[in-house]
Structure formats: C-alpha cells, structure tokens
Amino acid sequence: MGSKSIVVLGGGESGVGAAILAQRAGCDVFLSDAGQLGQARRAELQRRGIALEEGGHTPARILSADEVVKSPGIPETAPIVVALRERGVPVISEIELAGRHIGGAKTICITGSNGKTTTTHLLHQMLLAAGLNVGMVGNVGQSFARQVALAPRDYYVVELSSFQLDGMYDFRADVAVLLNITPDHLDRYDHRLENYAASKLRIAQNQGPADTFIHCADDPVSRATLQGHPLTAGSVRPFTRGGEPSATGSYQRGEALCFVDAQGPWSIPMREIRLQGKHNMYNCQAATLAAQAIGLPRRAIVEGMRSFAGIAHRLELVGERGGVRYVNDSKATNTDAAWYALDSMTTPVVWIAGGVDKGNDYAPLLPLVQGRVHTLICMTTDAEKLHASFAGVVGRIVDAGSAREAVAQAARLAQPGDTVLLSPACASFDLFDNYEQRGELFRKAVEEL
C-alpha cells in the first residue's frame, strides 16, 4: 500500500481498527465521523497520532483520498459515499483491508440472517480446544483489522454481516459458511430479498479449488440464490435435517447429528450437546463441517459441542421469579430469529416484541403465536404494525416504553409456569443503543423484580 492516502469513514470499532491497521501499513490516515466519537476511541486515535474529525465530513479532504474504508453502518446512499463513487475513489470495507495483511493465516467466515454469532462462538471454542492460535473477529468482538494490526493470529473466525460483505471485492475466505437467508435489513436493499441474498452470497466470491463452501440444504432462499450463482469452491459441504449427505456433508438421523471425516462416518447424540433447540442443531452442523474443513480432530469438535453453553442475548435464561421464567433473546432482530425462539417455547408465553421494523412480515409467526402467546407486550415507540398484525390472534396486547416497564407489565400478567420471552423481531434503535443494551436492561429489570 506504500504511503497512499487512506480515509476511514466512521469511528466505531470497525473504523478505528481500520485506521490503526492502515497506519501500521505505512499509510497517511485520516478518520472522519459525521457524529461524535466515543471518548475512549477519540483518546486512542489521538494517542496513536491518527488525524481525525468528528461532527461532520470535510468533502475536499475525503474526496482527495486514494482509497476510502467505509464502516458497515454507513449506507451507500450517504451523500459523501455517493460523491466518492462519482469521483471514482475506491470504497472498501474494513474486512477487505484486513484481508490484505493476514499473510498465510486461514480465514473461516460465517454469514447468515440468523445463527451466525452462535456458530462463530462455537467454532472459535472448537479451535481453541484444538490448541490453535485463533482470533474471533468481525461482526462480533473486536474488528478484524484491529486483531490483524495488534495481535495477529494463524486462524481467524470471522462473523460477517451483509453490510460488511458489500464492501469486499478481492477478499477470499478459505472456508465460507452460509447458514440461511431470510428477510432482514431490506430497507438497505431496496426492499428486495434477491438483493439482500446476493449480498450474502458474496462470502463465496473468489474461492478456488483449495477452499470450502458450507451451506444449509434445507433453506429455500439459499437454494434459489445458489442456482443463479455458480460456486467456485473446490469443496461444497451441505448440511440438512434429513436424508443422506454427500460424502462431506452432515445430516440428522433420529436424535443424533451425523458426519463423515477422514476416519469414516461418526455421530453425536443431541442430548450430549449443551446447546439445545432445532436451530442450534443446524449451527452445530455448520460449525463441525467448518472445523473438519481445516482438519480439526474429532476430539476437539466434540469437546466444543459438549461444553459450549451459548451466548448472551440469545435464548438466555436470565432469571425465574414466582414460577415464571424470563428469557433474553434480544439478539432476535428479525422475524425469522423470533420464529426459532417461539418455536422452542414449551410453556405459555408472555412475548415482548417491537423496535425498528425493517420491513417485517409477521405472517409466518402467526401459527406459532396462536395458542402459545397469551400476552404481547409491544416495547417500541411505534406499535401500530404489531397491533394490526396480532389483533385477534393474541388475547391481550399492551404497550411499554422501556425495558423496565415491559418487565413490570410481564410480571403482572404472567402466571406461574409461564415464560416471559424478550424476542423483539426488530432492531433496537428506537429505544436503545443496540440489542446488547436492550438485553442488559431487560436482565436488570428482571433482577430488580
């Protein structure tokens, strides 16, 4: 990269990591954020001598860059991005930048509308159990660029959102995992599912004969998308709930997950896996196939599945009060994730939902809600669509303007033996900074009951 001029747009974890890596690569770096930087990030940039601005962009300086690294939260429609495209300045993602500097390290990249964070954590645990020098980066934990710059690893497990994939051009995943594709973030994709699906499939671009692509054979949108996008990976490994796999895939038989490796067929009973739920069996299949693709021993894979308890904010039991269980599924930011949560419920439910609607279609949830959810608490600033969608299906619908109010309402309306489920099916940005804050405030409110 020499001494080229790099501008980083956005001063979150992704942007700051990109700025640090670009500086270490010998570039002239300038970071610009339209909002205000967090105090810790501002201090870090200043300590490292990285030039910055906040509270607005200076077009002349940004448009004169040799290359721009755009943070994933900034849409293509942002005026400064439009101006860069018109000027012909290359605009890439932090993932693309990091991939240029990993040397011979291997990347195992995971995307999907749902399950990618759980799968990323599980796979990371498997690699740690095998004693590998591995980092967990991307859409979870610290940025890929920061890890590469400050603590490089031999392996990287990379969680990728569609926004991060959109800025990748030459990056190549050694192992690419596509878990599923369901409607999400459609507001960023002209409300067209095919645009969003094409973005997800960018994870497989540039793969060659030595690479592996893993996908769910049961997911209809993935299947349809793959039909129009020929794969170039040398090994394609599907996973499925039923039927026999290919020689390198995975399937479910009875109450066991079944695989094939160099030693032959093997299986693990589902009761021995610490994660539970139908969706988590898919996550275990995907993680195992990825682990096998890089040669992990069966022992480490099994140890990972037996020990991994799950992640915060994903079907996390946060307490029990008066015979009522409280489950934090704040990471369910779309209807498909909420579907899996509702499907896993075995008791009557008080369901807390709502937030920023991303073009949601609630119709697929209706069969699960009917007869299972007796109360819907709409935790949002705009509950009109939720009321319209579930009126006549749920016996009681009430509104709440905060996590504390929602939990108080739930405690009043739940009966012993019920489950209070926070599974919003929406983004968090109307009342909260992010889904993590939403989940933590839910947990705190439960603890205060």
Residues with a known catalytic role: 116, 139, 185
Q: In DSSP terms, which residues pair with 54 in a beta bridge?
A: 33
The answer to whether the CB of 71 falls within 8 A of the CB of 41 is no
Whole-angstrom distance, CA of residue 421 vs CA of residue 237: 35
Q: How many CB atoms lie within 10 A of CB 357?
A: 18
CA separation for the pair 23, 395 (Å, rounded): 58
**Residue 421: which region, alpha, beta or left (left: phi > 0; alpha: psi -120 to 50)?**
beta
Tokens of 386: 């939720």
